[in-house]
Structure 1
Amino acid sequence: MQQVIVIGGGVVGLTSAWWLLEAGFGVTVVERAPEVASGASYGNGGQLSYRYVSPLADAGVPLKAIAWLFQEHGPLRFKPELDLRQWTWLASFLGQCTASANRRTTAKLLELGELSRSSMKGLENIVSPDDFAWRDAGKLVVYRSSKLFEQAAGKATAGEIWSGAECATREPALAAARVQLAGGIYNNGEAVADCHAFCVALAERVRLHPRFNGFVQADVTRIAATGGKVVGLDTSVGAIGGDAFVLAAGIESRNLAAHVGIRLPLYPLKGYSLTAPIRPGDTAPEISVTDFERKVLYARIGDKLRVAAMVDIVGEDVQLDPKRIDSLTRQVQETMPHAADYGRLSAWAGLRPATPNSAPIIGATRLSNLWLNVGHGPLGFTFAAGTARVLADLMLEKAPPFALDMLALQR
């Protein structure tokens, strides 16, 4: 039985571990934090958006980004770094900012989204939806600009088109913003859930699997390779060997791959989330809501409201920026003033490992036994099950369920 070492204990690493175990591999998971899902998987938006997968890069985005930088409460912040990786990523991102590139990538991500939906469905007998507050909530994208709403409605190939009044009627949490809304597009079948709780529950199932060799809490300090293959990991608790290695360590994958001369086109997009308890009598959203212009996501997860927003291009900085938190809090209270107990807000920030075109990287490298499952950006929870399934098929030398032309390292 081939022994696989999975580096990373977030949602991507844990789903990878499960699918590999089920495929017949022995698996060890190496995670540097004391608990699983302590990084980007911890406080994310909680939306499983299988149809709303449009890449960040699109025609017109560069001009919008410039405008956002001058907005006090804008969704984007940028801090130049003396780091070639930042500028290389930005140059590649700008190259993807065309309508044709966006259409091609969106089509591929929709395929991956459908695979992820069915793959998550297949986990229901392994991890109960009740364990992670899963709800088939549907997703409503609301627009404040009539022009943007009309453009989006004209392009929509699925979903229901609602007026601003209908948005507030069908989702009462939006009542206070009713006069500001031009309209919205609603899709059923989209879900919300607690990503961290999902990871904790899945980790327990992984732990009990007969082919699982255990979790190792350790910092990987070096990937050692010779003769075209990885020979082991140098870690804070000693050397770890195996037959194959899977890199699924979020943004840290970029640094680890560099040990063996592999450049991963990843950059950390810092995002923030707020979580507030929902009291009896609060009007929290039943539908998952995305405020398109403000780039703010709202989701009821169990008895809490989760709000996620913002893209800060500031390097590997996970510190909470009080100004950003205050700005987000004001926007939330303005849009949904009665949705939760904002006096007991908790704030979080995490680094979303993004590729320039928003498509994750799955599959082989030039080293025969080093595999990748990285670069999911803000859709790690959405795509994790699908990319894990693809990875297991590739490592078994099975044909993938669809062409991976835009999901491989060389694209």
Structure 2
Amino acid sequence: MTFMRERWARNDHEASRQLEGDLTEGSDIIVLGAGVVGITTAWELARRGHGVTVIDRQTEPATGASHANGAQISPSEAVPWASPSNLRLALAWMRQADGPFKLRLTADSRQWWWLLRFLASCREDVWRRNARRMVRLALASQRRLDEIVEEVRPEFDRERRGILRVYDSDAALREAEGIVDFMAPLGVGLRAVGPDEILDIEPALGAAIASGAVAGGLYAESDESGDAQAFTRALAHAAAGLGVRTVLGQQVERIDTHGDRFHSVVAGGVRHMADHLVICLGLDTPPLTRSLGFDLPIYPLKGYSATLRLAATNSAPRVSVTDETRRMVVSRLGDRIRVAGKADLVGHDARLDPRRAEQLVRDLRRIYPDLDHDGPPEFWAGLRPMTPTGVPIIGRSPVDRVYLNTGHGSLGWTMACGSAVLIADLLEGRNGELDPADYESGLPAD
């Protein structure tokens, strides 16, 4: 910390001089947020030769929404929640005590504002436009992940066996098959599979097929899974080797500007100066941007997970599965199995509801009745930073030298590496494979 104080405690004259130019090689950048989005952003910028400091109120990387998510890296499922079909399902689920969706209206005007924008995004044409944007980002992210893995060699229980979506009836499968034709032109291989092929892909689903819990599915062979927290911490270690400095356990108190430009960040009573700022704080982003004079349409949607340690004699699944009937995902993480799901729109309430969490384990038993584990499940609840459209907000903010990389919802793990490339290209004025305009729709108009 003493070194950090010396490194960043410049006088106002020097900071003003530096802010006169554009981003140059070796420029100093502060990244707020040490989740998977923040750390991949820091690594990408440091890899390009910039001096980077990461600041986060948590004491370790990936302790927020990246901590115990569903573990899927899923371009085939990188589509908005706001759709006509999901709106119909949500209305039905609200009448079910154990349904995948729960709504509790609050007095928070921002919840109502978000809901109205969500409803406006549930048109088919809007869904298709936003889905294309999300899939393109997810595919670019997966390609960048491959490159990072080749260079860094992080250990994160990666399983490259695809993702299998399963349905409990032929009618539900037929209704879902339209997504296959939508995904094909985007470069996502997705195909319908019957019970026999499902058994070939994942033998552990045999009991579910026999009981009728699984009637058919869709298989995305190029999707994958892995531990987002393990990856983030491994990449944070690699980033430190590139010179990235981390200031953890320090709450960001404010962002100061010099005229209409970014000047510095005050965290834990210490002022940190840099040329540019990138905010990757998920749900903690809107309070900071409101202090800068603009708001963002990001609101929490609570999800749950349960992680079980597998017994030594267990014949457990290896292919990641999305159970579309119960809207939950199941992923293998080495000697653990993780089940995640639920979508609770209940405000900023991160408390774990034991009944909702335990329902995940009961639903897991429906498709894997023979699953054997050691010890009790490790339950977790987290708040996803959702935009109404599902498209993350990546781009320049209304404040000069302040950039945003936030609002990835349940797809932060799927989109993190590509989002980092996009924000780095923007900072450097490069033209990349993604159109920045596609990810600036959540920003306020100038």
* Normalised-by-shorter TM-score class: over 0.9
Deviation at 1:186, TM superposition (A): 0.7
Is residue 4–residue 243 contact of structure 1 (8 Å, CA) maintained in 2?
Answer: yes
Is residue 50–residue 113 contact of structure 1 (8 Å, CA) maintained in 2?
Answer: yes
1:144 maps to: 168
Deviation readout 1:188-212 (Å, 9 max, x if unpaired): 11111111111111111111114x2
Q: Distance in 1 between matches of 2:284 and 2:218?
A: 36
Q: Distance in 1 between matches of 2:397 and 2:139?
A: 26
Q: Distance in 2 between matches of 1:168 and 1:253?
A: 44
2:314 maps to: 282
Q: Decide which moves more: 342-351 or 296-305.
A: 342-351
The DSSP-based 3-state class of the residue aligned with 2:417 is helix
1:10 maps to: 35
Q: Distance in 1 between matches of 2:126 and 2:151?
A: 38
1:86 maps to: 111
Letter in 1 for 2:52: V
Aligned residues: 409
The DSSP-based 3-state class of the residue aligned with 1:333 is helix
CA RMSD of aligned residues (A): 1.6
Q: Distance in 2 between matches of 1:252 and 1:194?
A: 23
The DSSP-based 3-state class of the residue aligned with 1:156 is helix
Q: Decide which moves more: 151-160 or 76-85.
A: 151-160
The higher radius of gyration belongs to: 2
Q: 1:125 to 1:159 in 2, by over 3 A?
A: closer
Deviation at 1:280, TM superposition (A): 2.8
Deviation readout 1:114-173 (Å, 9 max, x if unpaired): 2101100110233315x1111202110011132221122244133232123542453222
The DSSP-based 3-state class of the residue aligned with 2:369 is coil
Deviation at 1:84, TM superposition (A): 1.1
Deviation readout 1:80-137 (Å, 9 max, x if unpaired): 11111111111000011111111111111121112101100110233315x1111202
1:28 maps to: 53
Residue 148 (structure 2) aligned to one of 123, 134, 137: 123
The DSSP-based 3-state class of the residue aligned with 1:257 is helix
Q: 1:363 to 1:340 in 2, by over 3 A?
A: farther
Deviation at 1:249, TM superposition (A): 0.8
State the TM-score, normalized to the length of structure 1. Answer: 0.95
Deviation at 1:327, TM superposition (A): 1.6
Structure 1 residue runs of 5 or longer lacking an equivalent are: none
**1:9-408 correspondence runs (5 A):** 9-129=34-154, 131-157=155-181, 158-168=189-199, 170-178=201-209, 179-210=212-243, 212-341=244-373, 343-408=375-440
Is residue 28–residue 216 contact of structure 1 (8 Å, CA) maintained in 2?
Answer: no
Structure 2 residue runs of 5 or longer lacking an equivalent are: 1-25, 182-188
Deviation at 1:250, TM superposition (A): 1.3
Deviation at 1:337, TM superposition (A): 2.0
Q: Distance in 2 between matches of 1:340 and 1:92?
A: 44
2:4 maps to: none
Q: Distance in 2 between matches of 1:182 and 1:13?
A: 40
Q: 1:174 to 1:342 in 2, by over 3 A?
A: farther
State the TM-score, normalized to the length of structure 2. Answer: 0.88
Is residue 422–residue 436 contact of structure 2 (8 Å, CA) maintained in 1?
Answer: no
Letter in 2 for 1:64: L
Q: 1:256 to 1:172 in 2, by over 3 A?
A: same
Is residue 351–residue 381 contact of structure 2 (8 Å, CA) maintained in 1?
Answer: yes
The DSSP-based 3-state class of the residue aligned with 2:92 is helix
Deviation readout 1:14-34 (Å, 9 max, x if unpaired): 000011112221100001111
Is residue 58–residue 248 contact of structure 2 (8 Å, CA) maintained in 1?
Answer: no
Q: Decide which moves more: 300-309 or 100-109.
A: 100-109
Q: Distance in 1 between matches of 2:113 and 2:195?
A: 41
The DSSP-based 3-state class of the residue aligned with 2:75 is coil
Q: Distance in 1 between matches of 2:66 and 2:96?
A: 29
Deviation at 1:295, TM superposition (A): 0.6
Q: Distance in 2 between matches of 1:169 and 1:181?
A: 14
Q: 1:216 to 1:171 in 2, by over 3 A?
A: closer
Q: Distance in 2 between matches of 1:234 and 1:410?
A: 24
Is residue 251–residue 266 contact of structure 1 (8 Å, CA) maintained in 2?
Answer: yes
Q: Decide which moves more: 227-236 or 159-168.
A: 159-168
Q: Distance in 1 between matches of 2:126 and 2:303?
A: 24
Q: Distance in 2 between matches of 1:138 and 1:108?
A: 21
Identity of aligned residues (%): 35
